[in-house]
Structure 1
Amino acid sequence: MVAKIPNSGKGLSQRTGSCAGLVAYLEKEAPGQWFSLDRDDVPAGEVTQAIDRNKRNLNRDADKYYQVILAPSQAELRHIGSDPEKLRAYTRTAMEQYAANFGKGIEGRDLVYFAKVEHERTTGPQDRAVQLGDVPRGQQKGGEQTHVHVIVSRTENLSRYTERKQAGELERKNPYHLSPLTNHKDTRRGVVTGGFERKQFSERVEQAFDQAFGYDRPLSETFRYAHTMQHGTPEQCAALRTEALREQQQRQAVQQAAAQQLAAEQRRQTTPEHRPVQVDTPQPKPEHTPVRERKPSRGFGMGM
């Protein structure tokens, strides 16, 4: 499971204005089909209005929203049958983890976000094959490519904030501005407390998938393994490769033992001594019908 939060940049990666361009781009595969915390089939126009209006006290050049991309592996997709309904439920769970990861005591309902399931992906500048010149940019990728795009407002849900403020549940003067790209990571002192640990978020959404769908994740498919292979020391990488190989061998041994047991059971059921014995059911005897006594026939004499 890859949980990616792209950095702000140019073009569609520019987050300081309206999200209309990004929403329109994500309409390319199938119009509509947006969903939120508690709604399905949200129109694209409503997505743009809700995100754009949910802002307060942000500078002109400040990010107004962010994008979260949840990309299951092909093994994970096979495990859930690429079921869009399961992916929608999982996305809502992942956004609960997104909220909790700020360390501010907020929940998914304190966010304004909309998401969409897509089934196609094309090659981009970050793909190694594109960088090497093996495939052109924009070429459709093969295999299962189902993934989820989420657009989430930087400002917490203003409607809910106002309601809680009026009810006396909140003492803070302003709503939270929630940036997953902040450099603060679980800070306890200073002007900014909390923060967002992207590594921790990736691990949380991975664990959420495993728990939700009973996925037995190999070590080689974990975020910890991928992160270590990319950022770890040579010694750390070697140790983790050894651990992953050992786990793989153990899994293969368990699978082989299970297959052997199944084969033995099938052979046992087909051997003559274990075949079901067919018992002849005695047929009912026919009822005894009494023989009618035959009367002697009249004879004819030889003479008159």
Structure 2
Amino acid sequence: MYITITPQKLGGNYSQSSADFVEYLEKENQGLELGELTSQAAGGEHFFNQYGDRISAEEVIREIDGNTAKLKRNEPKFYSITVSPSKYELNRLQDSSVDLKIYTRELMKDYVASFNREIHWRPLTIDDIKYFARIEHQRTFKGTDIQIRENQPYASKILLLKTEIQNIREGRAVGNVQKIRAEIENLEKAAPHQQDGKRIVQGMPKAGNQSHIHIIVSRKDASNTFSLSPGSKYKASEIEMHGKIVKRGFDRATFFKNAEKTFDKTFDYNRNFAESYKARNDFIKNPKIYFAALMKLPTNEKALAFKIMGKAGIPIMPTIPATQAQLAMKIFNRLRRGAEVAIKSSSIGI
């Protein structure tokens, strides 16, 4: 599971309206027929919140933009939460559209519970926040993806060769077009990252189940009175304001842990060690502890953990040293370099 929480910016400034972001989330509607949009099969095509379904983009923009009282131009008006289950988690679902909607509504309860805030001297509840969510089922390869980056040298050579063919055809150069085409074909096949027999290029849809959740949540509470920032640098603290003690803070670690537990409980998911929040946190902060625990796992669970790690792009030694200490020391530095890729594959963002 990979979860991110980000304030929405337009260039270097915070967005003053949610319109651009909502338009971005509307992209999956493009090219779909009306019948498809209203069918049950396209259940993830509409916005929803804790109690409502089939909410229009116009209503989302109106509600979010109208809930920004007393916020300054240099303050976030809303936050984006992106939830990307791993392929193992998605395989556990019966219906991605239905199940992820159920999960989103439980997840947002975890979100609320992670605030160290009170409203009118009572804890926050799900009714105190204003959010809208949307489930998407497609992803495309971006320029930042490792597949695109590692295929880039081949793409550059292919582009040069195609330019050379164009020059030959227009009389600006002399050469054997057939030979150049054969060279291009060899480069296409030699590129390290392929999908369905084709070189992976930027903009190509990713294969398999790519279902994920986008959530837009207002910075202000539902009454447009109190500021609720998941970007707070405080986990839990108290300050005195106008002669009163006010709680503040948001505990991301608690949110991430509970998001994982909620998924497991909701779908009876047996989470592997390598997917757990605690394990991934240990991986970043103390790889020795991480691998010591890994080596103590039962054989079957250990094998699956290494499979998950391999898919994540974590560098694993060809042969496993005899002792846990040797293993941890030998790959310590390599693990640090692979940390970012590991986080994004099958764990919750830290």
Alignment gaps of 5+ in structure 2: 31-44, 118-122, 153-199, 306-350
Aligned partner of 2:326 in structure 1 is none
Instruction: State the alpha-carbon separation in 2 of the partners of residues 51 and 111 from structure 1.
Output: 11
Q: Any idea what SS the aligned residue of 2:28 has? A: coil
Relative CO higher for 1 or 2, CA cutoff 8 Å, sep ≥ 6? 2
Aligned partner of 1:218 in structure 2 is 272
CA separation of 1:124/1:223 partners in 2, compared to 1, >3 Å: closer, same or farther?
A: farther
Deviation at 1:130, TM superposition (A): 3.5
Of 87, 94, 98, 2:100 maps to 87
1:70-85 correspondence runs (5 A):
70-85=83-98
Tell me if 1:232 matches 2:254: no
Contact conserved, 1:16 with 1:61, CA < 8 A, in 2? Answer: no
Deviant stretches of 4+, over 4 Å = 133-136, 189-192, 244-247, 249-252
Alignment gaps of 5+ in structure 1: 160-174, 253-304
Aligned partner of 2:230 in structure 1 is 180
Aligned partner of 1:275 in structure 2 is none
Instruction: State the alpha-carbon separation in 2 of the partners of residues 197 and 127 from structure 1.
Output: 29
Instruction: State the alpha-carbon separation in 2 of the partners of residues 4 and 245 from structure 1.
Output: 32
Aligned partner of 1:45 in structure 2 is 58
Aligned partner of 2:347 in structure 1 is none
Aligned partner of 1:144 in structure 2 is 209
Of 256, 264, 268, 1:202 maps to 256
Question: When you count strand as a share of all residues, which structure comes out higher?
Answer: 2
Instruction: State the alpha-carbon separation in 2 of the partners of residues 246 and 14 from structure 1.
Output: 51
Instruction: State the alpha-carbon separation in 2 of the partners of residues 73 and 211 from structure 1.
Output: 16
Aligned partner of 2:4 in structure 1 is 4
Q: TM-score, normalised by structure 2?
A: 0.61
Instruction: State the alpha-carbon separation in 1 of the partners of residues 205 and 303 from structure 2.
Output: 37
1:268-287 correspondence runs (5 A):
none
Q: Any idea what SS the aligned residue of 1:26 has? A: helix
Contact conserved, 1:2 with 1:202, CA < 8 A, in 2? Answer: no
Segment of structure 1 superposing worse, 181-190 or 54-63: 181-190
Q: Any idea what SS the aligned residue of 1:40 has? A: coil
Instruction: State the alpha-carbon separation in 2 of the partners of residues 29 and 240 from structure 1.
Output: 42
Equivalent residue letter for 2:263: F
CA separation of 1:228/1:157 partners in 2, compared to 1, >3 Å: closer, same or farther?
A: same
Contact conserved, 2:295 with 2:302, CA < 8 A, in 1? Answer: no
How many residues are treated as equivalent by the alignment?
Answer: 235
Deviation at 1:129, TM superposition (A): 2.8
Deviation at 1:133, TM superposition (A): 4.4
Instruction: State the alpha-carbon separation in 2 of the partners of residues 153 and 147 from structure 1.
Output: 20
| Cα displacement string for residues 253-302 of structure 1 (whole angstroms, at most 9, x for unaligned residues) | xxxxxxxxxxxxxxxxxxxxxxxxxxxxxxxxxxxxxxxxxxxxxxxxxx
Contact conserved, 2:28 with 2:136, CA < 8 A, in 1? Answer: yes
Tell me if 1:117 matches 2:135: yes
**Higher Rg:** 1
Deviation at 1:10, TM superposition (A): 3.7
CA separation of 1:200/1:137 partners in 2, compared to 1, >3 Å: closer, same or farther?
A: farther
Contact conserved, 2:80 with 2:217, CA < 8 A, in 1? Answer: yes
